[in-house]
């Protein structure tokens, strides 16, 4: 399975000495800044860019989008709703971050747990991280919640499951995602931009508000 959709199973208390770090570490602005710095260095090295042309704020937006994808995609496949202290991650220089969870899957499917998804995932995990990125990197909450909508639709597009699309549509219709994007069938169009185009050679994403209809 695509690694974006996987949370490894972890026994509570077994993370010590294994390299797993608690999700709550990411709520420390210094840790968030360090991870954005790593991502920026990776972009500069990988594409041979002048560091002066790669704004930290833009990399922060893209980094947040990637982490949001890792928080959102797995519970769309298998409904697991960890508290912040029950989720763990490992630092990597690029690609999807490894994540692990100490919570077993809940009964039912994603379509039956939209309320839990909103309360436990969007508000319980994503919102606290979003607040850190908003404050630390002076990013608009509209941009950041738009990143979340984009991540949700991107995950749904890979799964191609009508029940998942129904969940995404419902989530896009209520706070905190209402007004961040428009969903036409299975095509999402954002009302804002993740700022990736400001990285040299970045261009615009397929769901970007800056793209012509």
Mean per-residue pLDDT for 110-124?
84
Long-range CB pairs of 173-179, under 8 A, 24+ apart, other chains included: 174/118, 176/122, 176/123, 176/127, 176/145, 176/148, 177/122, 177/145, 177/148, 177/149, 177/152
- Residue 157 binned pLDDT confidence (cut-offs 50, 70, 90): very high
- What number of residues does the chain have? 213
Ranges of each domain in the chain:
3-198
Instruction: Give me the mean pLDDT over the 83-104 stretch.
Output: 93
State the pLDDT at residue 111: 43
Q: 62-71, 101-110, 202-211: which has the minimum mean pLDDT?
A: 101-110
Whether pLDDT at 109 is above 60? no
pLDDT digits (tens, 9 = 90+) for 4-30: 899 999 987 767 678 899 999 999 999
pTM of the predicted protein model? 0.94
Report pLDDT for 101: 94
pLDDT of 99 reads 96
Whether pLDDT at 152 is above 80: yes
**Predicted confidence (pLDDT) at residue 52 exceeds the cutoff of 70:** yes
**What are 194-208's pLDDT values in tens digits?**
999 999 999 999 999
Give me the pLDDT at residue 106, please: 72
Task: Find the mean pLDDT for residues 145-158.
Answer: 97
- For residues 71 and 69, give the distance between their C-alpha atoms in angstroms, rounded to a whole number: 5
């Amino acid at each position: 399975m695509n690694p974006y959709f996987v949370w490894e199973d972890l026994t509570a208390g077994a993370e010590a000495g294994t390299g797993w770090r608690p999700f709550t570490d990411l709520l420390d602005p210094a840790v968030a800044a360090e991870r954005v710095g790593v991502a920026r260095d990776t972009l500069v090295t990988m594409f041979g860019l002048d560091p002066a042309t790669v704004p930290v704020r833009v990399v922060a937006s893209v980094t947040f989008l990637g982490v949001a994808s890792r928080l959102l995609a797995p519970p769309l496949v298998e409904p697991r709703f960890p508290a912040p202290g029950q989720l763990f991650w490992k630092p990597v220089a690029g690609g999807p971050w490894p994540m692990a969870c100490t919570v077993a899957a809940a009964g039912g499917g994603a379509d039956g747990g939209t309320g839990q998804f909103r309360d436990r995932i969007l508000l319980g995990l994503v919102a606290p991280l979003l607040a850190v990125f908003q404050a630390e990197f002076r990013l608009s909450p509209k941009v950041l919640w738009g990143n979340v909508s984009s991540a949700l639709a991107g995950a749904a597009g890979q799964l191609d499951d009508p029940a998942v699309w129904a969940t995404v549509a419902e989530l896009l219709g209520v706070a905190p995602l209402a007004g961040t994007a428009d969903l036409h069938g299975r095509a999402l169009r954002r009302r804002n931009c993740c700022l990736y185009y400001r990285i040299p050679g970045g261009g615009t994403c397929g769901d970007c508000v800056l793209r012509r209809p």
